[in-house]
Amino acid sequence: MRTWRFHEPGDIRNLILEETEKPVPGPDEALVNIHCAALNPADRYLVQGQYPRAGTPPFTPGRDGAGIILQPAAGGRFKAGDKVCILGGLTGVSRPGTLAEYCPVPEAWLAPVPANWTFEQAAAAPLVHLTAWRALVICGGLTGADTVLITGASGGVGTAAIFLAKARGARVIALSRSKSKRKTLEAMGADYALDIGSPSLEQEVRQAAGEKPVSLILDTLGGPFLEKCARIIAAHGRILVVGLLADLKSEITLGLLIHKNLRLQGLSVSAFTPNEIQDAWDSILGCYGNSSKRPLISRIFPMEDVQDAFEHLHAGPLGKVVIRITEHRVER
């Protein structure tokens, strides 16, 4: 089979497209013929050797993927030919990932591709939606009364968070550096989209929020933005730290946490158990319901162009970056 692997951690250019043996699934695992994968910043960190619990090289990254069951687990709930997507687990972390034509995945971490969704959409959605759900709903206790601020709002996690927060009836203020992306974020439901680089950001957010100040923040950036979040948020607010795209270190004025009675919490999507993740995924799909809304995809790349796709992701996409792995070719 064709697969992208790195033999040594380092630059993303260390990834090489290779021919390897088709993997043999273990007990409780299904062999999935991957049709589409989606990239996440964590895949880059993993290739760079900066990810905890990463698999030993030569290693195939890729945590998100959707495809068709080629070989089901014995006595499992899926059969050959079923369309599935990967919700989580160690795929693309310490187990072989989805940037390959075939991927063995424990059945407990699989779910059917939602009805009327494409493989591209089903590959794009899980990791970022489950992260946003864990942050907003499970850790943040989101309600319709919240005003939610989202940093890095145009990215995978950010666009999922906008969708989920709006679906739960909250007000959303989205932050992005790009004027054109801010327009799209408002078109997709954000009540306000503001320039995160504005010197008067705090004032602008307060003005937009009006009588219902920001009560919940999902931060994907870290670095200098965490202090800004603590300044912007109302007393008793909750700040959920999801990512560190701006910097992995932040300086924060502890007096803000104390005097405003703030809750500051980090979280990892990897903390889900298989049962929890299936429940969360069902709830996320419930938010989509029968609507025609779908996860936002920035661009779809062919398998050969994975490195260009990583560059596109690094440059700040609007939504998810998807890789088409197999053109709907199913070997039986």
Residues that bind ligand NAP (CB under 6 A): 40-42, 127-128, 131, 152, 154-158, 176-178, 181, 196, 220-221, 242-246, 267-269, 313, 316-317
Cα 216 to Cα 239: distance, rounded to the nearest angstrom: 6
Which C-beta is closer to ligand NAP: that of 108 or that of 162?
162
Q: How far apart, in Å, do the first and last CA atoms of the chain sit?
A: 14
Closest distance of CB 95 from ligand NAP, Å: 17
Is residue 225 helix, strand or coil? helix
Which C-beta is closer to ligand NAP: that of 43 or that of 146?
43
CB 61 within 8 A of CB 325: no
Closest distance of CB 69 from ligand NAP, Å: 26
Long-range contact pairs involving 209-214 (C-beta distance under 8 Å, separation at least 24): 209/147, 209/171, 209/173, 212/145, 212/147, 212/171, 213/147, 214/147, 214/148, 214/149, 214/173
Which C-beta is closer to ligand NAP: that of 1 or that of 90?
90
CB 288 within 8 A of CB 114: yes
DSSP class of residue 303 equals G
Which C-beta is closer to ligand NAP: that of 136 or that of 242?
242
- The C-alpha R_g of the chain, in whole angstroms, comes to 20
Closest distance of CB 124 from ligand NAP, Å: 10
List 148's β-bridge partners, or say none. 172, 216
Of all residues in the shown chain, the one whose CB is closest to ligand NAP is 155
Closest distance of CB 177 from ligand NAP, Å: 4
Which C-beta is closer to ligand NAP: that of 25 or that of 317?
317
Closest distance of CB 163 from ligand NAP, Å: 13
Comparing CA positions, the residue from 277, 276, 188, 265 lying closest to residue 233 is 265
Closest distance of CB 145 from ligand NAP, Å: 25
Tokens coding 13: 């250019």
List 272's β-bridge partners, or say none. none
Which C-beta is closer to ligand NAP: that of 17 or that of 45?
45
Which C-beta is closer to ligand NAP: that of 31 or that of 148?
148
Closest distance of CB 186 from ligand NAP, Å: 13
- β-strand 83-86 against 64-71: which pairing, if any? antiparallel
DSSP class of residue 141 equals -
